[in-house]
């Protein structure tokens, strides 16, 4: 018995080091009485245990990138752009597993007791890929480029609360207009990558402090990166990383199956379980803050009547949505935008599908006209199907729902945040304060449910200044309850991030934030054989 184990260990090491082919490994382990499935698991373990290997090329098939994309991190708006900028640029701080903060270009940070003044100590001895040394002045220039009235930066919403910024020695100091205990989380935003002189000279130069340098860029087609040999810390395993844009779902999965790429993002939930069945492919599932929503304007009839809202909420079959729209790759929502992926999350009683309660509230509202819901395919994948399911579950409670399908074109400008009831999508934010401030504060630009609640607003502002975590947690729990009972948000489901990789690469691990290991997968993974 020990003999067999020794032999297996020997084979595992040889295969992991790449001295033995996969096929040979399978043959030899089969001779020892192992099935292919067991051998595959063994091999994966061994490869993971062998640790990162340097060199080689990792190819990534990316969905969500177009030929119209800019290289300027301020304009990052899709997964392709975020992935590209991650390679060459770095933020001050980054999200880490367990919703903690990892210092990157800021060595450390601290705040004044009222959470109004924040000091970031900038790391010394870090150089940009153009050879220039990174200083606190570069940080200041970057942050200034992302703020101010002239900017087009996607991070403007974050920067707006800043009263002043300055540099003192090697420290970068932010003074806020209002206290904000979450500022470190906001600094992890993917737009806020430090560029030499803030990128003012050439925002699209792709010069930063990251582990890779951009070698060739054809937006919407292909990006090639090579290892930055003078990177300031360990990181980045592959010698070359190639991002190939494959927006078509079937083509992306086929490219992975035929071995033309090693990693892909956005595996379609519909086929994910079939893809995972292939022996050399693993589908990676990670829960995140993204959620599919049905949003109603609370200031517009009939949604101004809370009985109508409650009727719709009780009439939503959340589990059915997760099963049929997400194919099980997700979790049920509870009519708040917050789930366990947020740092200060508190569980609330789950609202289940209850046609009787829905009918009771509908009767109480005294209405008979059908409710009009607008939807389109790009509001979230399979949104029209979800609308049809909602229509049926409401029909069982005797509530008439009329579904109107809108064109994809112009949905975000003509329907979302304009029409009183529609389907939509939120990708979520790293912290509750940011999510609530973006869409649920009475004065928020994107208050897409026209939710105006004085108590909620007061709690939100007070929580920002509260540095006692337990008290803060309670405040967020109270806000969650208000939204759950009175909000215009019907949130049936949170979608998982679904990515996949072949066993040519290894090193997939847990992460916080977005899919593809918060977009760090190509950097953190390595070529296994």
Partner 1 sequence: MGPALKLVAQRLALGVLLLFLVSILIFVGTLILPGDVAQSILGQSATPEALANLREELGLNEPALTRYFDWLGGVLTGDLGTALTNGMDIAEALGTRLGNTLFLAFWAAVISVPLAIFLGLLAVRYRDRWPDKLISAVTLSTISIPEFLIGYVLMYFVGVKLGWAPTVSTIYDSMSLGEKLNAIALPVAVLTLVVLAHMMRMTRAAILNVMQSAYVETAELKGLTMFKIIWRHAFPNSIAPVVNVVMLNLAYLVVGVVVVEVVFTYPGMGQYLVDHVSKRDLPVVQACGLIFAAVYIGLNMLADIISILSNPRLRHPK
Q: For partner 1, which is the closer residue by CB, 362 or 436?
A: 436
Interface stretch with partner 1, choices 59-67, 286-294, 366-374, 389-397 (CB under 8 A): 59-67
Q: For partner 1, which is the closer residue by CB, 242 or 320?
A: 242
Angle between helices 2-16 and 22-31 (to 10 degrees): 180
Interface stretch with partner 1, choices 114-122, 124-132, 145-153, 232-240 (CB under 8 A): 145-153
56 within 8 A of 69, measured Cβ to Cβ: no
Which string of b and e fits 67-89 if b means at least 16 CB within 10 Å?
eebebbbbbbeebbbbbbbbbbb
Site for partner 1 in 192-211 (CB under 8 A): 204
Interface stretch with partner 1, choices 2-10, 87-95, 250-258, 307-315 (CB under 8 A): 250-258
Closest CA to 13 of 47, 56, 55: 47
423 within 8 A of 375, measured Cβ to Cβ: yes
> Pick from 109, 185, 345, 416: which binds partner 1 (CB under 8 A)?
416
Strand 489-502 to strand 330-332: parallel, antiparallel, or no bridges (unpaired)?
Answer: antiparallel
Question: Total residues at the site for partner 1 (CB under 8 A)?
Answer: 47
Q: Is 154 in the site for partner 1 (CB under 8 A)?
A: yes
Q: For partner 1, which is the closer residue by CB, 29 or 375?
A: 375
Q: Is 221 in the site for partner 1 (CB under 8 A)?
A: yes
Q: Take residue 296 and report the two structure tokens written for it.
A: 């109603």
Q: For partner 1, which is the closer residue by CB, 9 or 445?
A: 445
Q: Is 443 in the site for partner 1 (CB under 8 A)?
A: no
Site for partner 1 in 372-411 (CB under 8 A): 407, 409-410
What distance in Å separates the CA atoms of residue 231 and residue 252, rounded to the nearest whole number? 31
Q: For partner 1, which is the closer residue by CB, 69 or 94?
A: 69
By rule CB under 8 A, what string of x and - marks binding of each residue 64-103 to partner 1?
--xxxxxx---x-xx-------------------------
What distance in Å separates the CA atoms of residue 70 and residue 72, rounded to the nearest whole number? 5
Interface stretch with partner 1, choices 10-18, 175-183, 246-254, 477-485 (CB under 8 A): 246-254
Q: How many CB atoms lie within 10 A of CB 494?
A: 25
Q: For partner 1, which is the closer residue by CB, 75 or 167?
A: 75
Instruction: Output the DSSP codes for 460-525.
Output: HHHHHH---HHHHHHHHHHHHHHHHHH-SEEEEEEEEEEEEEETTEE-----SSSHHHHTTHHHH-
β strands within 219-349, DSSP E: 222-227, 240-245, 263-264, 281-296, 330-332
305 within 8 A of 312, measured Cβ to Cβ: no
Nearest distance in Å: CB 229, partner 1: 21
Binding site for partner 1 (CB under 8 A): 61, 66-71, 75, 77-78, 149-154, 156-157, 204, 216, 218-222, 244-248, 250-251, 254-255, 257-258, 260-261, 407, 409-410, 412-414, 416, 425, 445
């Amino acid at each position: 018995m020990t003999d067999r184990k020794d032999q297996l260990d020997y084979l595992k090491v040889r295969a992991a080091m790449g001295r033995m082919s996969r096929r040979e490994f399978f043959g030899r382990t089969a001779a020892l009485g192992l099935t292919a499935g067991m051998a595959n698991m063994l091999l994966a373990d061994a490869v993971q245990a062998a640790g990162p290997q340097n060199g080689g090329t990792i190819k990534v098939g990316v969905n969500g990138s177009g030929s119209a994309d800019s290289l300027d991190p301020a304009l990052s708006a899709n997964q392709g752009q975020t992935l590209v900028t991650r390679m060459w640029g770095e933020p001050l701080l980054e999200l880490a597993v367990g919703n903690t903060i990892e210092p990157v270009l800021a060595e450390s940070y601290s705040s004044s007791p009222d959470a109004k003044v924040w000091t970031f100590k900038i790391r010394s001895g870090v150089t940009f890929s153009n050879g220039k040394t990174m200083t606190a002045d570069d940080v200041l220039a970057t942050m200034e480029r992302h703020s101010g009235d002239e900017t087009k930066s996607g991070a403007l919403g974050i920067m707006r609360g800043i009263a002043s910024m300055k540099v003192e020695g090697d420290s970068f100091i932010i003074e806020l207009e209002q206290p904000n205990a979450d500022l470190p989380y906001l600094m992890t935003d993917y737009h806020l990558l430090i560029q030499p002189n803030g990128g003012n000279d050439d925002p699209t130069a792709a010069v930063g402090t990251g582990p890779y340098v951009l070698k060739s860029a054809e937006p919407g087609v292909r990006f090639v990166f090579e290892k930055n040999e003078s990177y300031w810390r360990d990181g980045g395993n592959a010698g070359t990383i190639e991002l190939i844009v494959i927006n078509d779902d079937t083509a992306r999965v086929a490219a992975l199956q035929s071995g033309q790429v090693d990693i892909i993002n956005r595996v379609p939930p519909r086929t994910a379980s079939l893809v995972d069945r292939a022996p050399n492919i693993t589908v990676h599932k990670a829960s995140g803050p993204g959620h599919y929503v049905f949003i109603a304007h609370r200031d517009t009839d009939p949604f101004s009547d809370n009985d109508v809202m409650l009727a719709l909420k009780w009439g939503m079959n959340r589990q059915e949505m997760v099963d049929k729209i997400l194919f099980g790759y997700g979790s049920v929502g509870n009519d708040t935008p917050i789930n366990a992926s947020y740092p200060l999350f508190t569980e609330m009683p789950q609202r289940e599908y209850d046609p009787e309660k829905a009918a009771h509230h509908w009767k109480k509202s005294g209405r008979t006209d059908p409710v009009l819901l607008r939807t389109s395919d790009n509001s979230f994948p399979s949104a029209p199907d979800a609308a049809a399911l909602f229509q049926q579950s409401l029909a069982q409670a005797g509530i008439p729902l009329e579904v109107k399908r809108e064109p994809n074109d112009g949905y975000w400008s003509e329907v979302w945040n304009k029409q009183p009831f529609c389907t939509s999508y939120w990708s979520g934010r790293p912290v509750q304060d940011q999510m609530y401030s973006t869409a649920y504060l009475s004065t928020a630009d994107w208050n897409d449910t026209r939710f105006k609640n004085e108590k909620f607003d007061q709690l939100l502002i007070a929580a920002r200044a509260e540095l006692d975590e337990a008290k803060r947690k309670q405040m967020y729990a109270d806000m969650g309850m208000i939204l759950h009972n009175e909000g215009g948000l019907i949130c049936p489901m949170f979608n998982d991030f679904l990515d996949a990789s072949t066993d040519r690469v290894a090193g997939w691990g847990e992460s916080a934030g977005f899919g593809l290991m918060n977009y760090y997968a190509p950097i953190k993974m390595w070529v296994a054989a």
